[in-house]
Every structure is written in C-alpha cells, then in structure tokens.
Chains A and B, each alone.
Chain A
Amino acid sequence: MSPQALHAHVFDGMGGSIRARSVHKIYRMDGVEVRALQGVDLSLAPGDHAAIMGPSGSGKSTLLNIAGCLDRPTSGSVCVDGMDTAGMQDRELAALRNRCVGFVFQSFHLLSRTSAACNVEIPLLYRGAGRRERRSRALEALEMVELSHRAEHYPSQLSGGEQQRVAIARALVSRPRIILADEPTGNLDSRSGEGILRILDDAHERGITLLVVTHDRAVAEHAARIIHFNDGRIAREEKHAGDGSTPRSAGKKEFCDEPV
C-alpha cells in the first residue's frame, strides 16, 4: 500500500482501531506445538485505552505482537487501523508498523551506539524523512517526554526511566494512532513507572489508542478496559473508569482467582 493510500486510510475514521477475529497462533518450538492464542476476539475503537493482564505464557505479548503487525496469526483475521493485514506482504506490514503503530517495550530496546535523538529518529529514517525534519520532530517528541535537554546523551548515560521515556518519544515521533506497550514499567522503580504511565495517559488523551500488556494491577487500572488472558484466550474483561477507581462493570465471563 502506498504511503498516500495509507494516509487516506488513517484519516477516514478507522484510524486507530484494532480488530481481531478468532485469532489463533501456533508456534513450533523444538518440534513441540505451542498454542499461544486460541481464538481471540478483540475490538478496540479509535481512542480506546485497554490493558491486557494474565499469567506468563497466556498469550498477551503474542497478541500485542500480532496487533502491531510484528507477527502474523496462524489463522483468524486482524485489522489494524481498519486495514486487513491478512493479504499484506512483509514490506506492507513494515510500512504499517512504521506509520500507524508505536511500540514501547519492557526493556526499552534502544540502540546503544546512538544518542537519544538518533534513537527517536529511527522510525522517520525508514520513512525517508529528511535530516532536518527528522531532527526537529525527534526533538519535538523528546520535548513531549520532557527529555529534550538530554537529546545528545547515549542510552548508557540515561536512567531506566529516562530510557523508557526516549523509547516512548520514539513511538510517538511517527504520530501513530496506536501505541502498543509491553510491560512498559516492568523494569522500572515505581516512581519512574508513574512518570511513564502519566506520559502514556497524556498520549491517550490526545486520541491515541493505547493497548498495554502488564502484570501490574495498578498499571492496568489506568485503562478503561482490563482484559484478562488465560491459556491463549480472553478469560474476562472489566470495564473501568480508567483513573484507578473501582470497576464500573464486569465482563462477559468471570473467573475467580485470576493470578496476577
């Protein structure tokens, strides 16, 4: 899909949506079949804020990777930003990742050899943006995470919280409609984690669809929807005020003793 077509799509009202229909994902590891996802249905409307919780190996990260077009489902359909990814070629998926999705990872995943600003520029690099445009947008993004004063620092010179803020700036720099965060506070102390969550909440308030995978109930309670995963399936969903208050309504299925 051409960049123009992609742009047109983003602004036709579907921009920012994620829709998964009976998504299955089966891995083969050393000859053993691992059923990571077993029929997941999930819809996020543009501007939604959802958290996925569940035990390790329940398929949360796999769903996140599939939603972000890093991975393909074994069966089922995934529409990202209103576009069906099923028939897409690898380079089209790369373009989709580049323009519509921003990733935030638990271990930051910054390139250690380059400065914060250069790290933030990476998505723009693969979009063919000019040097000056890249620099100004990277600084803009760093400003949003209050790190413009550390633009020339290398990741090793930054604290964990700062590194994650650089990573969020990198996710924001391409002005995506969706941000996917996999345990964004998992490697951080609670105070830095608070800062990260505040930045993500700000992004959500500007209309970005936010999907966060977390183990941490406190993190999940920032979201309006908390989706519980178990054994590659959605176990239940809580609706929530999204501000850390008590649940508003319960989901379709209830499971007790949800491990956290």
Chain B
Amino acid sequence: MNLFESLRASFTSLRANKLRAALTMSGIVMGTFLVFVMYSVGSGATREAKKVITDLAPNAVAVVYGYFPVDMDISKVTFSPSEMLQQMEDLGTNLPLISSRFKPEMSYPLQRELPGGCMATPLSVDLKRVEFGPRSRNVFAFATNDNYPAIRNQSLARGRYFTRRDEGRRVCVLGSDLSLRLFGDIDPVGREIRVNGRRFQVLGVMEPRGRTMFMDNDDLLLLPYWVGGHLGPEQVDGFLVSAPTPEDMREAKAACIEVLERQVGEKTFTVITQEEMLALAGDATRLVNIMSGIVTFVGLLVGGIGIMNIMLVAVSERIREIGIRKAMGARATDILKQFLLESLLLGISGGVIGICMGFGFLMMIEVIFDFPPYIGPASILIALLFSMGVGVIFGVWPAMKAAALDPVEALGHEL
C-alpha cells in the first residue's frame, strides 16, 4: 500500500469523525499556538534588543550611575522584590536615575584619558513638553555635548549641532519626526520653541534614524548638557562613549573605570560595553528559551495525550477492520503505517490551525503593543515539526497495538 493510498485511508477515517478529530486537535492546536507565539515573541524581542544595543553607537561603552555587576550570570539573579532591595542595599548604591554624583564636566578628563579616536558625551534623559504655536508634544529629551552626532554616527539634515561656544544659551536640536510634527514643512532652524514653558532656539534637525523597540529615535529632543536632564544641569545620568574598534572599546572601558573611580569612588557606577550588553541580552534570551521549552513540553504532553487517547479509541473501534485488512493481506507494517499517518495527519492539521491562530495573535500584539514579533521560517518550521512530532510520537503506541493484533481474534471481535 503506497503512501498516497494510506493517506487517503487515514483522511477518510478522520472525516468520518469530524467533531472528534476537531476536539482531539484542540490540544495540539493550543500547544502549537503557544510554541509558535512564544518562539516568535522571544526571537522578536531578542532581535529588537540586539538592534537597540547595536543602534546605540559603534563599539559603544555606556556608563551609568549605580552599581550592577555586569559579568554576573543573569540566570542566577533572583526576582523577588525584597531580595532585590537587599541586594541594592548590600551594594551600597543609590537607585540609578534618582540621584547621581556624575557631573557633566567629568566628560573632559574622560575624553582625555580615552584611547585615540574615542569620543565621550555626558548623557541625561528626561521627558519634556515641547510647544510651537498651538502644537505641542511630550517627548524624550537627551542632554548631551557636541560629540553626540559623531558618537551615534548620525548627521544633521538641517542647521548645526550645538558646540561649547553655545555654552549657557538655551538651544536645542530636533529629531526629524519631532520637527515634522511641530513645524510641518516650515524650516525650524532659528525659530523659537518652548520646552517645559521656557524659550529655546532651534539650531538644527537630525537625519532620520528609524525606531527601535522602546523608542522612536526621531521623535526626540536633543539639549546641551548645560541645560540638563531631570537631575538639573549639575548632574548627569551617565556617559556614552564610542570607540573606533572593539579593542579600543575594551580599553575605553578600563579608562572610564579608572577616571571615574577617582572622581566618585569604587562600585558606585557601572561601565558596560556593547559586547557585554549583547551577552546579557543573550542570557535573557536563554532564560526566555528555557521558559518556552517548559511551555513547549507541557503543550506537547497535553496535545500528545489527546492524540494518543483518541488513537487508542480509534484502534479499539476498528479492531474488526484491522482483522479484515489483515485477512486480505495487509502486513503489520501496513496497519502501523495507516494509524501512524492518521495521528500524523491529526498533528499536522492541529499544527497548521495553531500556526494560523498564532499569526492572528501576533498581528494583534504588533498592533496593540507596537512590538514586532519576529515570524521567520524558523518559527513556522519549529511549530510544524513540533505538531508532527507530537502526532508521530504519541501515535506510535496505538499504531503498534493495532499492528500487533491477531487477525483471527480481530475478525471475531464484537463491536
């Protein structure tokens, strides 16, 4: 009996019990759905995180106030709030972003001590209300120095960036989207806007850069460090450094630690390189993968047991049919094949439905949370293989039972 004939026979018998087949499939549908969604969201999140990190700056080194042991294994971090607070206290640090002993002028000794070609800027983040005429927006504002465009490898579409010669003046540079939303087609260079009610002169507009997961890089305001972020002009959240090569990046990290420890003391701040950030993101991905693995396993069990159950029922219902087929010359392998194909078919159909539902769900996530899950061929393949695997693995035992039936007993079986 060739494969096509076996498939036809399996299909016929599934069609004879449509409702039962559908109910059986619900487990495998849910399982495949979960596997597909988790895998897509997980790989989407990883991709986005990596994009955010690599988008930061070429060979970036970030310095933030507050100590966090970067080289620790994230999978060993506990997530209970009380333990986290305890850990913070043990580390003797203040919560970052609430207070900082970094001062903007520390970027000058930093710049001097860094390897050649490296550039540093102080960096503070704040949320500001920006107004022009009747239009207003709440946007993220970065306070930086004149190295910022070079560090982020981003040029200006119009006007210029602020320099030290502007020191003391209330000036700003707009992201391309912010410019478009406030000014439309009007050239904003030289015009005045209000930032949190105070008047600022627009010096320039950045080239568009695109968005990453957590923010729109073009819908932001760039302010000089002397204006300051949420900590005021005397303090900054941290520093951002870019290096020409990965080697320089590692050296730059050492230099940052050396310079800043002299200024603010040991273990009060964190220096993290792009490599280390990617490694942390990788750790987080592994954590997500472990959790997806558990979900996958549970899904497999639930879906598989459903399939096994119904296949056992199907075998016991069709004992006489098996006897007839054997009397007509079917070999044990023919019977095995027929029932295995049937459970495989159940698995695949459930899988395809689960994947379709997953597509719908992921599209919803994308719309609602503005987060692009990554639906690659790998997610589809994994979900399909999962459902097929469940169909086969949990179909083996019922199919073997069917194949091993004694033809005489099977023929005499009463329904």
Contacts and interface: CB of A to CB of B under 8 A. Distances in A.
Interface of A: 65, 68, 70-71, 90-91, 94-95, 97-99, 103, 105, 109-111, 113-114, 122-123, 125-128, 170, 174
B231 interface: no
Given A70-B407, A125-B1, A98 B321 contact: no
B408 A126 contact: no
Contact of A122 (B325, B332, B407): B325
6 contacts: A70-B408, A91-B332, A103-B327, A103-B328, A123-B329, A126-B328
Contacts of B1: 125-126, 128
Nearest to A109: B324
Given A70-B327, A94-B329, A99-B329, A126 B320 contact: no
Interface in B280-333: 320-321, 323-333
B321 A91 contact: no
Interface in B324-347: 324-334
Contacts of B329: 94-95, 97-99, 123, 126-127, 174
A103 B328 CA distance: 8
Interface in B381-415: 407-408, 411
Interface string B1-15: 110010000001100
Contacts of B77: none
B368 interface: no
A139 to B, nearest CB: 18
Contacts of A103: 327-328
A99 B330 CA distance: 11
For B320, B330, B334, the residue with the greatest tally of chain A CB atoms inside 10 Å of its CB is: B330
B16 interface: yes
A125 B331 CA distance: 11
For B323, B328, B408, the residue with the greatest tally of chain A CB atoms inside 10 Å of its CB is: B328
Given A122-B325, A126-B325, A109 B330 contact: no
Contacts of A65: 408
Contact of A123 (B5, B12, B323, B328): B328
Nearest to A108: B324
Contacts of B320: 109
Given A70-B327, A113-B13, A114-B12, A105 B411 contact: yes
A109 B320 CA distance: 8
B408 A97 contact: no
- Top 7 A-B pairs, shortest CB-CB distance: A98-B329, A94-B331, A126-B329, A91-B331, A123-B328, A122-B328, A97-B329
A116 B320 CA distance: 17
Interface residues of B, number: 23
A127 B1 CA distance: 7
A91 B232 CA distance: 87
Contacts of A123: 328-329
A147 to B, nearest CB: 18
B395 to A, nearest CB: 20
A94 B13 CA distance: 23
A9 to B, nearest CB: 16
For B325, B331, B333, the residue with the greatest tally of chain A CB atoms inside 10 Å of its CB is: B331
Contact of A126 (B323, B330, B407): B330
Interface in B28-65: none
A126 B331 contact: yes
A173 to B, nearest CB: 10
Given A70-B407, A70-B408, A114-B12, A109 B327 contact: yes
Given A70-B408, A126-B1, A97 B332 contact: no
A170 B12 contact: no
Nearest to A167: B324
Contacts of A70: 326-327, 407-408, 411
A231 B407 CA distance: 23
B69 to A, nearest CB: 66
A88 B327 CA distance: 16
B331 A111 contact: no
Nearest to B327: A103
Nearest to A95: B329
Contacts of B323: 109
Contacts of A97: 326-329
Contact of A94 (B12, B330, B408): B330
A71 B408 contact: yes
A122 B328 CA distance: 7
Contacts of A174: 329
Contacts of A128: 1-2
A109 B411 contact: yes
A46 to B, nearest CB: 21
Contacts of A122: 324-325, 328
B407 A91 contact: no
Contacts of A90: 331-332
Nearest to B329: A98
A29 B239 CA distance: 86
A113 B408 contact: no
Nearest to B412: A61
Nearest to B332: A90
Given A111-B324, A123-B328, 7 more contacts: A70-B407, A91-B331, A95-B329, A110-B324, A113-B12, A122-B328, A127-B329
Given A70-B407, A70-B408, A94-B326, A126 B334 contact: yes
Contacts of B12: 113-114
B34 to A, nearest CB: 34
Contacts of A91: 331-333
A170 B321 CA distance: 15
A170 B13 contact: no
Contacts of B327: 68, 70, 97, 103, 109
A98 B411 contact: no
Contacts of B334: 126
A125 B411 contact: no
A123 B331 CA distance: 11
